[in-house]
Amino acid sequence: MDKLLLEWNKSGSPGGSFAVIKDGKVLYKGGFGYGNLDYDYPNAPNTVFYLASVSKQFTAMSMALLEEQGRISLDDDIRKYFPEIPDYGYRVTIRNLIHHTSGLRDYLNLWVLKGRSYADVFDEQEIINLIARQKALNFKPGDQYMYSNSGYFLMAVLVKRVTGMSLRDYTNQYFFQPLEMNNTHFNDNRNMIIKNRAESYVKNDSVLERVHSSFDLVGSGGLYSNIDDLILWDKNYYSNKIGSGEKLMETIRAKGILNNGDTLDYAFGLVHGEYKGLKTIGHSGGYLGFRTHMLRFPEQRFSVIILANLFSMKPSDLARKISDVYLADILVDSGPKANEEELSSGELDETDFNMDRQQISKFSGTFFSSELETSYYFYMKNDSLTCQTRYLDPVTLKPTGPFTFKKDKWITLEFDKNYKKFTLNTGRVKNIKFKRTNN
């Protein structure tokens, strides 16, 4: 274990905190590296980290508990609670939100596409309005799985609209106080003082920098916790004290099912998987310099939890390496590499297309999207088409065809043959329409 952590367990380096748990007993826990480099505060089991998407299991469990309490049905149309969301001709249910099968465009992607930064203040009502302005879904609800933070953000708002309590207050009352997780909460106040909080770091040109954000929306992320509290949460997985106990956990473990009957690996903020012949269930998270991972082998009642505060760290890989140490006698060293599913995009990069200056100049101009409420300005620079929006840095686009461009393999633009409009697609946002506003 010490050798695995040696790279970060030194002066002047961020690192993280960890726990290894078997049958409810903590085999090993501790901290490595520093949570705050300004004050040389070392990471420890009580250091509080931002969990990013590991938060989703708590949001999803809130939905399951609300259903048990008779306040909602997971098969309710979300327009029952969000009348401002357009009628797309299909029912989008709470269950669709939980399993990422809603087709709703991802609000974090939309935020960046409209020219906003993660350093900006995210206003809850502004995000609701942004989602409600979308004129189409990525696909018919239930037809596909596509990870979308919008669903989990909306679930946090749903808790407030149904109960009158914030997600923070609801989970405090029904989850964290009963389990004595006294250092865990959904942080919906960016100015709140959090004792023992780790800072977030990224390395730029070999220089460590602290990364700050004004982000304090919850649901898709937003949970702060530490290793000591998450050990209690892991124990609760096997002897649940929330709601109906084991019946509620059966709901939490239930995988999503597509319209065609295919079963997903995604459950309620938890991903079912397999590692070297053993079943796993867990989730990763990443935001700013925070990287988190909870890996559970339920049949062996064995878990590894890692919370890190350095962007370049890969706690999912580290959790598997730790599992290799403790489960060496029962793991089967065969099959796909541990992180293969994270590296494979399933898409091939398009071949670049040669386009002369005269042709590129025809795409110059200003285009507006009512869904994003923002304009994109295209102009020629160094024989390439460049895009500028709001306060973000200019982006150079590469042609892939007579009317198509790409920023990378995830972001593509397709213009019409009259150069009057174009459609923007990204990994989690499909078919955003822009129209030319200049002649």
Give residue 334's pLDDT.
Answer: 60
Q: What is the pLDDT of residues 253-293, one digit of tens each?
A: 999 999 999 999 999 999 999 999 999 999 999 999 999 99
Instruction: Give me 81's structure tokens.
Output: 């609670």
Tell me the pLDDT band of 120, cut-offs 50, 70 and 90.
Answer: confident
Answering whether pTM is above 0.85, one says: yes
Give residue 208's pLDDT.
Answer: 94
What three-state secondary structure class fits 357? Answer: helix
Give residue 93's pLDDT.
Answer: 98
pLDDT beyond 80 at 338? no
Give residue 405's pLDDT.
Answer: 96
pLDDT beyond 60 at 349? no
Q: How far apart are CA 402 and CA 393, in angstroms?
A: 25
pLDDT beyond 80 at 127? yes
pLDDT mean over 307-311: 97
Give residue 390's pLDDT.
Answer: 78
Q: What is the pLDDT of residues 92-114, one digit of tens each?
A: 999 999 999 999 999 999 999 99
Q: What is the pLDDT of residues 178-237, one digit of tens each?
A: 999 999 999 999 999 999 999 999 998 889 999 988 889 999 999 999 999 999 999 999
Give residue 341's pLDDT.
Answer: 38
Give residue 393's pLDDT.
Answer: 84
Q: What is the pLDDT of residues 393-420, one digit of tens each?
A: 899 999 999 999 999 888 999 999 999 9
Backbone phi, then psi, for 392, in 5-degree steps?
-80, 160
- Spell out the domains of the chain, with CATH numbers in brackets: 2-103+138-343 (3.40.710.10), 357-436 (2.40.128.50)
Looking at the chain, the whole-number percentage of residues with pLDDT higher than 70 is 95
Tell me the pLDDT band of 333, cut-offs 50, 70 and 90.
Answer: confident
pLDDT beyond 90 at 51? yes
pLDDT beyond 80 at 342? no
Chain Cα centroid distance, residue 309? 16
Of 19, 7, 14, 8, whose CA–CA distance to 226 is shortest?
19
**Sheet bearing 49-50, strands edge to edge:** 49-50, 223-225, 185-186
Query: Which whole-number Å values give the CA distances from 165 to 42, 158, 207, 252, in the listed order?
Result: 35, 10, 43, 22
Q: Which residue has the tokens 């990364």?
A: 211
Tell me the pLDDT band of 351, cut-offs 50, 70 and 90.
Answer: low
Of 292, 239, 304, 317, whose CA–CA distance to 28 is shortest?
304
Of 14, 67, 6, whose CA–CA distance to 42 is shortest?
14
Q: How far apart are CA 232 and CA 122, in angstroms?
A: 31
One-letter amino acid at 402 equals P
CB 7 within 8 A of CB 1: no
Q: How far apart are CA 49 and CA 290, in angstroms?
A: 8
How much is the mean pLDDT over the chain? Answer: 93
Q: What is the pLDDT of residues 374-400, one digit of tens each?
A: 999 999 998 999 999 977 789 999 999
